[in-house]
Amino acid sequence: MVLSLVLQFLYNNAMIKRRLVLFFSVLLIAVSCSRPLTDTDNGSTIELTEDDGFQLVLQGEGFPEYNWQIVSANNHIKLSEPITAESNGSITDFEFNFETVGTGEDKLRLAYTNGKDTKKTFELTVIVGTMGRIESY
């Protein structure tokens, strides 16, 4: 009888521990994948699957006549929502929400420009598909 109770107690604790480990693992994955990309991700590469979304937030610095603009033609990503700009004093955050469409690779290029002059640029390589980048040697 006592042995049965001890085994039941250990089994229940082991199940609780497994559930907690599983819960926190899923939570960690969800949190790590959902952060927006920022200026610090300039020049990096991301790998996504079809129909994935990602957010890009770039800062503009006190030049009201300047805006972040997409300057590349992209075949595998598209804007999923209109671009928004939120000003906080002398800094403006430009928010881009993208969605992947089809498999392949795009170089997403943006410029902080007024149409004539460019103050800064941003580039991100986006690989869409489950196999990742395929290179020939």
Domain boundaries defined on the chain: 1-34, 36-128
Does the structure show a pLDDT above 50 at 94?
yes
Judge whether 54 and 75 are in contact, CB under 8 Å. no
Does the structure show a pLDDT above 80 at 135?
no
Instruction: Tell me the pLDDT band of 8, cut-offs 50, 70 and 90.
Output: confident
Name the one residue in this structure whose structure tokens are 């020049």.
43
pLDDT the model gives residue 88: 84
pLDDT the model gives residue 3: 67
Mean pLDDT of 47-60: 94
pTM recorded for the entire structure: 0.70
Name the 3-class secondary structure at 64: coil
According to DSSP, the residues that pair with 45 across neighbouring strands are 125
Hey, what are 19's tokens? 């559930």
Q: Which of 56, 57, 58, 102 is nearest to 77 (CA)?
A: 102
Instruction: Tell me the pLDDT band of 23, cut-offs 50, 70 and 90.
Output: very low
Q: Would you tell me which CATH number, out of the four given (2.60.40.2020, 3.40.50.720, 3.40.50.880, 2.60.40.10), belongs to the domain 36-128? A: 2.60.40.2020
Does the structure show a pLDDT above 60 at 20?
no
pLDDT the model gives residue 47: 94
Most confident of 2-6, 15-19, 98-102: 98-102
